[in-house]
Homo-oligomer: A and B are copies of this chain.
C-alpha cells in the first residue's frame, strides 16, 4: 500500500498547477473545459480523491453532522438514523454517530463532538439534551433537538431549534377516541417524567379528557423501557376497579403493555382494555399487535431537521421550533364505534 495521491501528483501528471486541480474539484470554480478534462483524466488515472479533512481545515466546514442518540431499541430511532443519513448524504453531509452513554456525562460527549469540528448537531437523546443544547448554542454550533424540546416551563429556554410532532394534539386525538368509544376508566403510561415528549402527550391527553367531562383515572411511568413498562402495567391493573383504557407514551412500551395485558392478565383487547400508542413504528402494524396509534411521520420530521440545520449553518441565528402534525392510525386495539 502506497499513500494516496495528492493534488500535486495530479498536477504533475497533467502538467498544470496544483490550484488548477483544486479548482476542478471545487464546484463553481472557474476552470476552462480543456483544463478540466485534462485534470480529470490525470485524476482518474491516479485514482485521486480530494482529502476532505485538509479541505475542512481551510474552509472551516467539515460537512459532518453529529447525531446523538441513546435508545436504539425503540425502532423509531433507527428509522431516524436511516432517513437522516440519507437526506444529509444527498446534501453532501454525513452523520457521525454518538451513542450517549449513561456513565459518560454530557461534557465528555460534547468534547468529543467539538473536536471533530462538526457543522451541526442533532440531539435525539433525552438524557443529555438540556445541558448539551445550551453548551453548543453558546459555542455557535447549530443544534437541532429532535423529538424533544429543552424546557417546557419556558423560563430558561435557550435559543435552540427543535423539531417535534404535535404531541399535545396527538394526546388529544387519543383521548377523543377513547371517550367516543365508551371507555371510562382511563390510564396513562408515561415515558420519563422529565421528557418533554411524554409530558406534552400527557398534557394533550388529560386536557382533552377534561374537556370531554372524563378524567385520568390512573397513571404510571415506564421509563421508555420494555421491562419497566411491563412492571408499570402490572401495577396499574392490579386493582379491583382496573382501567379499561390505556394510552401509552410510545409504541415500544405499548407493545410491552399488550403482552402483559393479553398474555399475563388474560384481558381481551380491545373489548376489556383499549390501547393507544404513539409513533407508529413498523411493529405497531404487525399482525399480532395491530396497535391503534398516533403516527409520527419520520420523513417530514427529518426534512425539517435538515432544513433547520442548513439554515443555521448559513448564519441564520434565529432558532425555530418546528411542529409536525400527527394523525391517528386506527387498527385493532380500540373497539369499533357502536
Q: Which chain B residues lie closer than 8 Å to A56 at the CB level?
A: 53
Closest residue on chain B to residue A64 by CB atoms: B96
B64 near A85 with CB under 8 A, answer no
**Which residues in chain A, 18-54, are within 8 Å of chain B measured between CB atoms?**
47, 49-54
B64 near A72 with CB under 8 A, answer no
Contact A53:B116 (CB < 8 A) given known A101-B89, A139-B4, A289-B288: yes
A258 near B288 with CB under 8 A, answer yes
Query: Smallest distance from the beta carbon of A84 to chain B beta carbons, Å?
Result: 9
Q: Which chain B residues lie closer than 8 Å to A89 at the CB level?
A: 98-99, 101, 112
Q: Which chain B residues lie closer than 8 Å to A140 at the CB level?
A: 1-2
**Which residues in chain A, 65-98, are within 8 Å of chain B measured between CB atoms?**
67, 72-73, 75, 77-79, 81-82, 85-86, 89, 94-98
Measured in the bound complex, the distance between the Cα atoms of B288 and A73 in whole Å is: 18
Contact A112:B86 (CB < 8 A) given known A78-B72, A288-B259: no
Measured in the bound complex, the distance between the Cα atoms of B288 and A258 in whole Å is: 9
Query: Smallest distance from the beta carbon of A119 to chain B beta carbons, Å?
Result: 12
**Size band of the interface chain A makes with B:** 35 or more
**Which residues in chain A, 258-279, are within 8 Å of chain B measured between CB atoms?**
258-260, 262-264
Contact A97:B98 (CB < 8 A) given known A262-B287, A287-B259: no
- A62, CB-defined interface residue at 8 Å: yes
Which of B47, B54, B64, B78 is in CB contact (< 8 Å) with A75? B78
Closest residue on chain B to residue A99 by CB atoms: B85
Which of B50, B67, B86, B139 is in CB contact (< 8 Å) with A101? B86
Q: Which chain B residues lie closer than 8 Å to A338 at the CB level?
A: none
B115 near A52 with CB under 8 A, answer yes
Closest residue on chain B to residue A86 by CB atoms: B99
Query: Smallest distance from the beta carbon of A122 to chain B beta carbons, Å?
Result: 12
Which of B79, B96, B287 is in CB contact (< 8 Å) with A95? B96
- A153, CB-defined interface residue at 8 Å: no
Measured in the bound complex, the distance between the Cα atoms of B155 and A306 in whole Å is: 45
Q: Which chain B residues lie closer than 8 Å to A179 at the CB level?
A: none
Measured in the bound complex, the distance between the Cα atoms of B282 and A259 in whole Å is: 14
- A133, CB-defined interface residue at 8 Å: no
Contact A282:B52 (CB < 8 A) given known A89-B112, A97-B95, A99-B82: no
Measured in the bound complex, the distance between the Cα atoms of B4 and A282 in whole Å is: 43
Q: 13 A–B contact pairs at CB < 8 A?
A: A51-B57, A51-B117, A52-B117, A53-B53, A72-B81, A77-B78, A85-B97, A85-B99, A94-B98, A255-B286, A262-B287, A264-B287, A283-B283
9 closest A-B pairs by CB? A1-B140, A259-B287, A288-B288, A78-B78, A52-B115, A85-B99, A72-B78, A95-B97, A263-B287
